[in-house]
Amino acid sequence: EAAVTQSPRSKVAVTGGKVTLSCHQTNNHDYMYWYRQDTGHGLRLIHYSYVADSTEKGDIPDGYKASRPSQENFSLILELASLSQTAVYFCASSDARQGYAEQFFGPGTRLTVL
């Protein structure tokens, strides 16, 4: 079965600090995504990537950067964490472009910014 792992699983950060969320997949998928989930908002796409060393902006990229150093790894970086970025973050992968293949999600990272 497809495997997507995330680290850390939980993180408490201070306002203005830097946060890096990591994602690793062993599916050999080209496409990887970062979403955030807030109560009442479903899933919203932050950044995605379809090839190593390249990332694309999603629907809510402000305040976030992404890095795809290899096919397997995809990171989400919050340079200056803010209270509004408290949320659960999910990484996902798929073997075709978004919308044309099932997405496999990691277990999520619960981020609390104080």
Identity (one letter) of the amino acid at 80? L
Q: What is the smallest separation between the CB atom of 86 and other proteins, expressed in angstroms? A: 17
Residue with tokens 């390249």: 54
Backbone CA torsion sign across 12, 57, 1, 43: positive
Q: Confirm or reject binding of residue 84 to other proteins (CB under 8 A).
A: no
Identity (one letter) of the amino acid at 28? N
Site string for other proteins, 8-37 (x = CB under 8 A): ------------------------------
Give the integer Cα–Cα distance in Å for 62 and 77: 11
Nearest to 19 by CA among 113, 93, 84: 113
**Of 40 and 70, CB closest to other proteins:** 40
Among 8, 10, 16, 41, binds other proteins (CB under 8 A): 41
Tell me the number of residues near other proteins by CB under 8 A.
19
Contacting residues toward other proteins, per CB under 8 A: 40-45, 58-59, 90, 97-100, 102-103, 105-108
